[in-house]
Amino acid sequence: MIERLLAGIRRFRTEIYPRHEQLYQSLAHGQSPHTLMVTCSDSRLDPHLITQSLPGELFVLRNAGNIVPPHGAIDGSEEATIEFALAKLDVRCIVVCGHSNCGAMAAVVGQVDVSDLKEVRQWLRHAEPVQRELWHSGLEGAALVRAAVHGNVLVQIEHLRTHPTVQERLARGDLEIYGWVFDIETGDVLGYDPVNGRFSSLSDRGDPDLAARIDLAHTPRGSQPPPA
């Protein structure tokens, strides 16, 4: 498979790069992304593709399950990435983006067996509130995973708010946090609306003020959104 990657590199250098040479030359001197995108490592989700963003616009943090450990929980790259994005790059927006049929969330709710994967089990502990909230939901199969995907986005946003740099920027009023879910099958992106407590399509929203901005003043801690 490495041959396919090498062929892609050659095509990028000879066909794609020349079209954007001026952009890349300007980016060589530094970056000023407007958004920190926290999303899953899943190969089916490309944050630049679904948002049609250019290089230099998104500062991307990817891991299994789009998880944000609470401040001080672990000494990992997530906290360093968040701190750098807010304190040094001055991003004005954070998006936590999950996706449909997420294997990590399927594992969280017991639909995928990871009992033999020690590191995975430990990592997914940061999504345990999702499991607890859905324990008596009565949901099964795909509906259970779907609810976990949606609920996990809100849980990780709560975790984000424990980070000092996030708290500082929110207090200053110059940071917005959004919760999204990418539907792989339809290509749609759903945004969480704290007013009605549901995820709904962002494709039909022309007003940026309605673009699923998370305001946890209207979202009680530990709440679980109803299925969209």
Helices (H) and strands (E) in the chain, counts: 9, 7
| The amino acid at 156 | Q
Res 74: pLDDT = 76
Task: Using CB atoms within 10 Å of the CB of residue 40, give its burial: 0 to 12 exposed, 13 to 18 middle, 19+ buried.
Answer: buried
Asked whether the predicted pLDDT for residue 170 surpasses 60, the reply is yes
Q: Between residues 77 and 154, which one has the greater pLDDT?
A: 154
Res 219: pLDDT = 38
Q: Give dist(CA 75, CA 46) in Å, integer.
A: 27
Please identify which residue in the block is written with the tokens 């998880």: 67
Task: Please state the rounded mean pLDDT for residues 207-212.
Answer: 46
Task: Spell out the residues 6+ positions from residue 221 whose beta carbon is closer than 8 angstroms to its own.
Answer: 158
Res 203: pLDDT = 86
Confidence class of residue 208 from pLDDT cuts 50, 70 and 90?
low
Domains in the chain, CATH or no CATH each: 1-30 (no CATH), 31-218 (3.40.1050.10)
Q: Give dist(CA 10, CA 51) in Å, integer.
A: 25
- Give pLDDT tens digits for 72-84: 887 778 999 999 9
Percentage of the chain surpassing pLDDT 70? 89
Asked whether the predicted pLDDT for residue 28 surpasses 50, the reply is yes
Mean pLDDT of the chain: 89
Res 44: pLDDT = 97
- Give pLDDT tens digits for 32-43: 999 999 999 999
Asked whether the predicted pLDDT for residue 218 surpasses 80, the reply is no
What dihedral do alpha carbons 35, 40, 44, 48 form, nearest 10°?
10
Q: Between residues 168 and 208, which one has the greater pLDDT?
A: 168
Q: How far is CA 156 from CA 13, 55, 79, 98, 126, in A?
A: 37, 26, 13, 10, 8
Asked whether the predicted pLDDT for residue 29 surpasses 50, the reply is yes
Task: Using CB atoms within 10 Å of the CB of residue 166, give its burial: 0 to 12 exposed, 13 to 18 middle, 19+ buried.
Answer: buried
